[in-house]
Amino acid sequence: MGFLQLLKSQFLCHLIICYVFLVSGLIINLLQLCTLPVWLVSKQLARRINIRLAYCISSQMVATLEWWSGTECTLYTDPKSYPLYGKENAIVVLNHSFEIDFLCGWTFCERFGVLGSSKVLAKKQLAYVPIIGWMWYFLEIVFCKRKWEEDRRTVNESLQKLRDYPENFWFLLYCEGTRFTPKKHQVSMQVAESKGLPKLKYHLLPRTKGFWVTVQSLRGTAAAVYDSTLNFRNNEMPTLLGLLNGKKYHADLYVRRIPLELIPEDEKECAEWLHKLYQEKDSFQEHYAKTGRFPGPIMSPPRRPWSLINWLFWSCLLLYPLGLLLTQLISSGSVFTIVASVAVCSAAADLTPPIFTGSSLDDWPD
Ligand SMILES: CC/C=C\C/C=C\C/C=C\C/C=C\C/C=C\C/C=C\CCC(=O)SCCNC(=O)CCNC(=O)[C@H](O)C(C)(C)COP(=O)(O)OP(=O)(O)OC[C@H]1O[C@@H](n2cnc3c(N)ncnc32)[C@H](O)[C@@H]1OP(=O)(O)O
Ligand SMILES: CCCCCCCC/C=C\CCCCCCCC(=O)OC[C@@H](O)COP(=O)(O)O
């Protein structure tokens, strides 16, 4: 193990990264709160400010993937579609199979310049997660309760508000509705069988209602659906903890741009269209399992320095006062204060979320 790799595996480094993320995140949440009066004066200005503030948070996680772990992200796509990425609004349909798939999505958003404005149809519980969830509130993220009787109206209303959004955005939809596990897959395939639909090997049966309402609400706003299929080389199962430990993964993403006009307007036809799409996605995963690559040419966008620069900025700003505090603590010579501080840090380490102790985000309570 080289020196740098040894350094990346040190708990102290993880503590520093998390400290910068947590403290800067809370400061940014507070700044977002301060933009509330701006909404009254100019909604578009408030939105533009919040896009940049959100970038300061999400790009730290992207920096962990791109710069700290050095994870490589390869994009397979049609060269004719490539110049349009980042230059139009789009609905992204992505498989939900990995703990860090959202982060790979964010990484592509960063490379195409739409990270601050990226959106998702997320479960309501995530709105209460400090930092990320609170940031999403100001980004007008669309939340669902996964109860169609309620979501039908609220999801449509939230999406309608995005029609005059001032910057290009990608709207992510995990049509499977939950992360893939063998148990969920088994249940899902029983549903497929009862509906007379072909079985899928690598995906759960897609939930069609959210897709239909999204496409209908964003007609005239989004230009296309980006059908995206993600996998990792060598059967890697990446985790956030792995990234924090500096483990380098290799993500491959296959994207097909489908103009929105090609998607049926009728709800039933739209559902059939989505089921067919997932059968195709399944065949791409089969191709990947057999050949280790997706079909089509590679058009990988390079990583940009901004996520790293943002992280260095917040680190300098927040590590300086921490350094001063520690110096004062040690020079105070008070054994009680030093022991109390060590105890607080140990307690904080014990209370860290499951991701840092190796279990999955799925274990977080709803
Ligand atoms: C160039 C680069 C391109 C791309 C880069 C990639 C990405 C970057 C883009 C953006 C990034 C932005 C942000 C990312 C950041 C973070 C994201 C993190 C987390 C969010 C993750 C989540 O929260 S996922 C959970 C929430 N989302 C969803 O659920 C969406 C999908 N669900 C739906 O659409 C649902 O329809 C619904 C939620 C709208 C409503 O749900 P409800 O359950 O009430 O209704 P349904 O119709 O779905 O269910 C009833 C029908 O389903 C049948 N059924 C029952 N059991 C099952 C089963 N196990 N599987 C499938 N179907 C089932 C049932 O029979 C009913 O059928 P009917 O025929 O009667 O309708
Ligand atoms: C600079 C990096 C510092 C690292 C610190 C990392 C701290 C991470 C904190 C928060 C990350 C929150 C990310 C939100 C995305 C969560 C994805 C998710 O949980 O999706 C839910 C989905 O599966 C469906 O769930 P269900 O099992 O169906 O209900």
User: Could you write out the DSSP letters of every residue in 103-143?
Assistant: HHHHHHHHHTT-TTT-EEEEEGGGGGSTTHHHHHHHTT-EE
C-alpha 178 – ligand 1 centre gap (Å): 7
pLDDT at 366: 43
Please give the distance of CA 335 from its chain centroid, rounded to a whole number: 44
Whole-number Å distance between alpha carbons of 231 and 237: 9
Best residue for ligand 1 mutational test, from 209, 212, 240 (most atoms within 8 Å of Cβ): 209
| CB-CB contact of 119 with 137 (8 Å) | no
pLDDT at 1: 72
For atom 41 of ligand 1, the residue with the nearest CA is 146
pLDDT at 363: 47
Please identify, by atom number, the ligand 2 atom nearest to the C-alpha of residue 179: 23
For atom 4 of ligand 2, the residue with the nearest CA is 18
Query: Within a 10 A sphere around the Cβ of 151, how many other Cβ atoms?
Result: 20
pLDDT at 104: 98
Question: To which H or E segment does residue 172 belong?
Answer: strand 170-173
155 CB-near residues (< 8 Å, 6+ apart):
121, 142, 144, 210, 213, 214, 217
Please identify, by atom number, the ligand 2 atom nearest to the C-alpha of residue 178: 28
| CB-CB contact of 141 with 172 (8 Å) | no
pLDDT at 348: 64
C-alpha 210 – ligand 1 centre gap (Å): 6
Residue 301 exposure: Cα atoms within 13 Å on the Cβ side: 20
Best residue for ligand 2 mutational test, from 102, 104, 311 (most atoms within 8 Å of Cβ): 102
pLDDT at 352: 54
Nearest by Cα to 255 from 276, 278, 225, 218: 225
pLDDT at 332: 78
pLDDT at 326: 85
Burial degree of 89 (CB within 10 A; 0-12, 13-18, 19+) = buried
pLDDT in tens, the chain (366 residues): 789 999 999 999 999 999 999 999 999 999 999 999 999 999 999 999 999 999 999 999 999 999 999 999 999 999 999 999 999 999 999 999 999 999 999 999 999 999 999 999 999 999 999 999 999 999 999 999 999 999 999 999 999 999 999 999 999 999 999 999 999 999 999 999 999 999 999 999 999 999 999 999 999 999 999 999 999 999 999 999 999 999 999 999 999 999 999 999 999 999 999 999 999 999 999 999 999 999 989 998 999 999 999 999 999 999 998 888 888 888 877 777 778 777 877 776 665 554 444 444 554 444
pTM of the model: 0.92
C-alpha 236 – ligand 1 centre gap (Å): 25
| CB-CB contact of 228 with 94 (8 Å) | yes
Query: Within a 10 A sphere around the Cβ of 199, how many other Cβ atoms?
Result: 13
Ligand positioned closest to the Cα atom of 184: 1
C-alpha 205 – ligand 1 centre gap (Å): 10
C-beta of 18 in contact with ligand 2 (< 6 A)? yes
C-alpha 302 – ligand 2 centre gap (Å): 25
Best residue for ligand 1 mutational test, from 115, 207, 294 (most atoms within 8 Å of Cβ): 207
Ligand positioned closest to the Cα atom of 24: 2
pLDDT at 349: 63
Phi first, then psi: what are they for 25, rounded to 5°?
-60, -45
Question: To which H or E segment does residue 148 belong?
Answer: helix 148-161
C-alpha 203 – ligand 1 centre gap (Å): 12
For atom 43 of ligand 1, the residue with the nearest CA is 146
Ligand positioned closest to the Cα atom of 107: 1
ipTM score here?
0.94
Ligand positioned closest to the Cα atom of 204: 1
C-alpha 327 – ligand 2 centre gap (Å): 35
pLDDT at 192: 98
pLDDT at 336: 79
C-beta of 171 in contact with ligand 2 (< 6 A)? no
Ligand positioned closest to the Cα atom of 299: 1
For atom 5 of ligand 1, the residue with the nearest CA is 105
